[in-house]
């Protein structure tokens, strides 16, 4: 009888010990949890929609993400600077590091995508066989949708430069439809424009359109990088987030969204 009582008591003690250990572990995790404020370019918005909840569930941290075009976020960083991590086109992030707004040692490439065009499925495609043929195709288009270059949206800035190089910026100007924070190809799918310019993965996310690469001499791959400001109060959490974004689990989701994992390149 005494032996049975002792065995039962030992089992209860072991059970209470396990419960206590789990409780303390969860309490420790809650105490270590942080709210990480993220500035993210719209170019990786779809990827972040997948990665944010997964990171939160595995880390216990809470992410507050502000999306915008690269130029808009650049201005906010310069004027306010109240954030813990930024995901921006690599060149923009390097500029921020030069200005002392981002710790250069923290920067890691996350994902990349090419600038291209969208046409309606089954519709006529612009002739990209030469610069001259491409120029004529653009001049024949009634409406071209691009991300407003004034917003710093990287695809819009790049295409504005293409128009300048072709010498048709003034002629095309009245036929440009400028957007911010939109999937430009949706306007082509609805029949509101003949061409749309944006990143490849954003174009391919829209049904009813086809992706057309820019001519080789005008192609550009955009790399998005993550970086941490030296003044952040949540450095440990931000370091965890960068490690996650550049890790194998995130790479799989980046591929699913039509981008290329860029970490390590």
Q: Does 8 reside within a domain?
A: no
pLDDT-wise least confident of 53-62, 72-81, 243-252: 72-81
217 DSSP 8-state letter: G
Please give the C-alpha separations between residue 129 and each of 40, 118, 132, 140, 213, in angstroms, as whole numbers: 35, 17, 8, 16, 11
* Predicted model pTM: 0.84
Cα–Cα distance, 154 to 223 (Å, whole number): 10
pLDDT tens-digit map of 2-44: 545 444 454 544 444 444 443 333 444 444 788 999 999 999 9
Q: Do residue 54 and residue 65 come from a single domain? A: yes
Q: Do residue 122 and residue 177 come from a single domain? A: yes
Q: Does 252 reside within a domain?
A: yes
Q: Does 197 reside within a domain?
A: yes
Q: Does 1 reside within a domain?
A: no
Q: Do residue 213 and residue 228 come from a single domain? A: no
Q: Does 14 reside within a domain?
A: no
Q: Do residue 93 and residue 213 come from a single domain? A: no
Q: Do residue 95 and residue 163 come from a single domain? A: no
pLDDT, residue 17, reads 44
Q: Do residue 122 and residue 215 come from a single domain? A: yes
Q: How many angstroms from the chain centroid is the CA of residue 189?
A: 23
Of residues 117, 138, 135, the one with CA closest to residue 210: 117
Q: What's the domain range around 70? A: 33-112+223-261
Count structural domains, the chain.
2
Q: Does 255 reside within a domain?
A: yes
pLDDT tens-digit map of 207-244: 999 999 999 999 999 999 999 998 898 999 999 999 99
Q: Do residue 81 and residue 175 come from a single domain? A: no
Q: Do residue 93 and residue 139 come from a single domain? A: no
> Is the separation of the CB atoms in 109 and 262 below 8 Å?
yes
Q: Does 133 reside within a domain?
A: yes
Q: Do residue 124 and residue 197 come from a single domain? A: yes
Residues 125-151 as b or e (16 or more Cβ within 10 Å = b): ebebeeeeebbebbeebeebbbbbbeb
Q: Does 13 reside within a domain?
A: no
Per-residue DSSP letters for 231-255?
T-S-HHHHHHHHHHHTSHHHHHHHH
Domain CATH for 165: 3.40.190.10
Q: Do residue 53 and residue 38 come from a single domain? A: yes
Q: Do residue 215 and residue 227 come from a single domain? A: no
């Amino acid at each position: 009888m005494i032996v049975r009582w002792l065995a039962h008591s030992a089992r209860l003690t072991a059970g209470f010990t396990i419960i206590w250990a789990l409780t303390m572990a969860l309490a420790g995790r809650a105490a270590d949890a942080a709210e990480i404020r993220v500035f993210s370019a719209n170019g990786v918005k779809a990827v972040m929609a997948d990665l944010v909840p997964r990171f939160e569930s595995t880390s216990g941290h809470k992410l507050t993400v502000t999306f915008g075009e690269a130029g808009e976020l650049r201005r906010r960083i310069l004027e306010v600077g109240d954030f813990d991590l930024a995901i921006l086109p690599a060149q923009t992030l390097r500029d921020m590091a030069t200005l002392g707004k981002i710790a250069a040692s923290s920067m890691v490439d996350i994902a990349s995508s090419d600038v291209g065009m969208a046409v309606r499925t089954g519709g006529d495609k612009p002739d990209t066989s030469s610069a001259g043929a491409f120029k004529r195709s653009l001049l024949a288009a009634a409406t071209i949708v691009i991300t407003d270059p004034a917003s710093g949206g990287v695809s819009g800035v790049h295409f504005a430069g293409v128009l300048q190089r072709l010498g048709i910026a003034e002629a095309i100007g009245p036929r440009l439809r400028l957007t911010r924070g939109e999937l430009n190809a949706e306007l082509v799918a609805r029949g509101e424009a003949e061409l749309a310019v944006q990143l490849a993965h954003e174009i391919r996310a829209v049904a009813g359109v086809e992706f057309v690469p820019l001519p080789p001499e005008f192609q550009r791959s955009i790399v998005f990088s993550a970086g941490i400001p030296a003044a952040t109060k949540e450095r440990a959490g931000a370091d965890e987030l960068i490690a996650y974004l550049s890790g194998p689990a995130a790479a799989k989701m980046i591929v699913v969204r039509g981008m290329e994992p860029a970490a390590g390149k």
